[in-house]
Chain A
Amino acid sequence: MNINKKKLLSTVSTAVFAILSLLVLFPVLAGFLASFRPGRELIRRGLSINLDFSTMSFSNYTYLFSWNADSKKYFMWFKNSMVLTLLSVVLTLIICYFVAYGLTMYNYRLKNVLFFLVIATMMVPFEILMLPLYQEMIDLKLIDTTAGVILPGLCSASTIFFFRQYMVSLPKELLDAGRIDGATEFGICVKIMMPLTKPAFAAMGILCAMGSWNNMLWPMMVYRSSHQFTLPIGLNTLLTPYGNNYDLLIAGSMFAILPVLIVFLCFQNYFIEGMTAGAVKG
């Protein structure tokens, strides 16, 4: 291929992605610009890119941080989301790590059966189980509790699967070395193998955190009292037909993306690694 033709192709390909990225960023950009305008304009005009800077101000954001009743409500949701995310990430990672360890590091007859069961849980979409689970939570008196939100998701099949994929390639000789030194099986798992699995923890931690931060359906069913609401549920309650809360809604929505965005920009590779792990061998 001659050089000019290659240059042209390269420019065209890069342009394809530039246009695509612009299209993708468009709604977020429109939302971002709208967050500097009065919320009632969203009701009156819908959302569009509007570059009329004269009507823009920081008033939605000053309102968001004004620490009045609305602002306090918003940051309560924010705090609830933080706590829920932190709790569910820490517990999910630890439990899934142990399960994956049990499914990888030993040879026993039921191993493949157990692994098959893990995969089987992926075959039923959560949406089908949510109704009986909801009933179960009522029976167990776990409705309106954080335990009720977190417990059903702790043994996440995809997280177990990812840990397993990662651990299969770790040297098993280390286990025997540990045994000779007199470590317990649990000690080997925690003190020897866990540090070697750090990258998997990072990748899965970030992915779980994002999932939990954005999770809406199940928390919305479990939480009933408004002081428990997380960001997605809380923002959803602002969507009244009267639109009297759109100032808070639009600024709050943009601010809610920020934590995930920061984490993403810092750990972009972990995101991609964690997400695509199942696709190649799975």
Chain B
Amino acid sequence: MKIKRIFYSQKAAPFLFVLPFLLSFTVFWIYPLFSTVKMSFQSILPGQIEWIGLTNYEKLLKDTTFHTAIRNSLTYMFFSIALLIPFPMFFAVLMDSNLVKAKGLWKGALYLPALTSVVISGTLFRLMFSELPTGQMNVFLSFLGKAPIPWLKEKGFAMCALLTLCCWRWTGVNMLYFLSGLKSIDTTLYESASIDGASAWNKFRYITIPLLRPTTIYVLTISVYAGLSMFLESFMLWAGNSSPKNIGLTIVGYLYKRGIEKNQMGYASAVGLTLLGMALIINVIQLILNGTFKKEEN
């Protein structure tokens, strides 16, 4: 009888439904998060765990390879945001106007890269950015009368390759985000602005940009995370986790190198938590500057 009552109880039901989440949250989120915090204060060797306080973090401060990784990840994040917000926004506005023909076709084509696995796209890009004069990018350069470039061997060029891959994969996706944001803007606003004689630029500046802000903030937030935690793209471009002079090393790449390849879980945990700290700080600052929290208080 008692068991039967549970099935009809409106008090117990929500908790039964949410139970899988609570389990997964405890086992696969809280627990690993705490254990990585714990491990970051430890030196972990097989069968020999030692508390060493802040030593891992102190070592990180002096670790020049880690600094290279941070610099690479921050540069990548910065440029990926600089490229993947304005351009997709512009394309979305253009796509939303009734000027463009055959919209479905272009949307499908631009979304295509998001369908491919990083293994495949990374391999294709690695071969296109080949240092050989017959690789696609060097073929382009020779059209322009320039000498071939060892793309994946020099710092600035390597970042270009990473960013090209990034833009290739995400321009279409971000455009679709902005398109769905544009769909939620009331069209009568544009009509009344037109009656008042507003120019296309002013409509964009004073209606589209402010009303697209929730979408922009969303894209910005996920781009900060995605940019800082980029790993597989660099893993695939250099066919493994090692690039010459660490030009393609990212923070997560370094975490992987220390944690998985060298089995230094404690040190790698400190790397991971530094990354988490950076991502949270950047996003909180970004959200404060964008006034997101203020709005919620009102």
Q: Is B272 touching A128 in the complex (CB atoms < 8 A)?
A: yes
Q: Is B21 touching A155 in the complex (CB atoms < 8 A)?
A: yes
Q: Is A106 touching B14 in the complex (CB atoms < 8 A)?
A: yes
State in angstroms the CA–CA spacing of A261 and B117 once bound together.
Answer: 12
A10 to chain B: closest CB distance in Å? 4
The verdict on B229 contacting chain A, using a C-beta distance below 8 Å, is: yes
State in angstroms the CA–CA spacing of A217 and B134 once bound together.
Answer: 31
Partner of A232, one of B117, B268, B279: B117
State in angstroms the CA–CA spacing of A123 and B279 once bound together.
Answer: 9
- Could you say which residues of chain B place their CB within 8 Å of the CB of A17? 91, 94-95, 100, 106, 110
- Could you say which residues of chain B place their CB within 8 Å of the CB of A124? 29, 33, 276
State in angstroms the CA–CA spacing of A70 and B111 once bound together.
Answer: 32
B contact residues, range: 35 or more
A contact residues, range: 35 or more
Q: Is A49 touching B7 in the complex (CB atoms < 8 A)?
A: no
Q: Is A256 touching B218 in the complex (CB atoms < 8 A)?
A: no
0/1 interface trace, chain A 35-50, chain B, CB 8 Å (1 if under) = 0000000101111110
A-contacting residues, B81-98, CB 8 Å: 91, 94-95, 97
Q: Is B109 touching A24 in the complex (CB atoms < 8 A)?
A: yes
Q: Is A47 touching B18 in the complex (CB atoms < 8 A)?
A: no
- Could you say which residues of chain A place their CB within 8 Å of the CB of B280? 123
A152 to chain B: closest CB distance in Å? 4
- Could you say which residues of chain B place their CB within 8 Å of the CB of A34? 127
The verdict on B214 contacting chain A, using a C-beta distance below 8 Å, is: yes
Stretch at the interface among B62-70, B118-126, B201-209: B118-126
- Could you say which residues of chain B place their CB within 8 Å of the CB of A103? 14, 17-18
- Could you say which residues of chain B place their CB within 8 Å of the CB of A244? none
State in angstroms the CA–CA spacing of A262 and B238 once bound together.
Answer: 30
Q: Is B110 touching A21 in the complex (CB atoms < 8 A)?
A: yes
A-contacting residues, B225-255, CB 8 Å: 225, 228-229, 231-232, 236, 239-240, 252, 255
State in angstroms the CA–CA spacing of A216 and B136 once bound together.
Answer: 26
Q: Is B134 touching A45 in the complex (CB atoms < 8 A)?
A: yes
The verdict on A117 contacting chain B, using a C-beta distance below 8 Å, is: yes
Q: Is B33 touching A14 in the complex (CB atoms < 8 A)?
A: no
Q: Is A49 touching B136 in the complex (CB atoms < 8 A)?
A: yes
- Could you say which residues of chain A place their CB within 8 Å of the CB of B17? 98-99, 101-103, 189
The 10 closest A-B pairs by CB, nearest first: A102-B17, A46-B130, A46-B135, A47-B127, A132-B32, A21-B109, A214-B117, A185-B13, A276-B180, A155-B24
Given contacts A102-B14, A154-B24, A236-B119, 15 further A-B contacts (CB under 8 A): A10-B101, A30-B128, A31-B124, A48-B139, A102-B16, A105-B14, A108-B14, A118-B21, A121-B29, A131-B259, A184-B8, A185-B7, A232-B117, A268-B108, A272-B180
Residues of B near any A CB (own CB < 8 A): 7-11, 13-18, 20-22, 24-25, 27-29, 31-33, 35-36, 39, 91, 94-95, 97, 99-102, 104-113, 115-121, 123-125, 127-128, 130-132, 134-136, 138-139, 168, 171-173, 176-177, 179-181, 184, 214-215, 218-219, 225, 228-229, 231-232, 236, 239-240, 252, 255, 259-260, 265, 268-269, 272-273, 275-276, 279-280
Return 18 A-B CB contacts under 8 Å, by A number. Answer: A20-B106, A28-B116, A28-B124, A30-B136, A106-B10, A121-B29, A124-B29, A127-B272, A128-B273, A129-B36, A131-B268, A132-B35, A135-B39, A239-B239, A261-B115, A268-B107, A279-B177, A280-B181
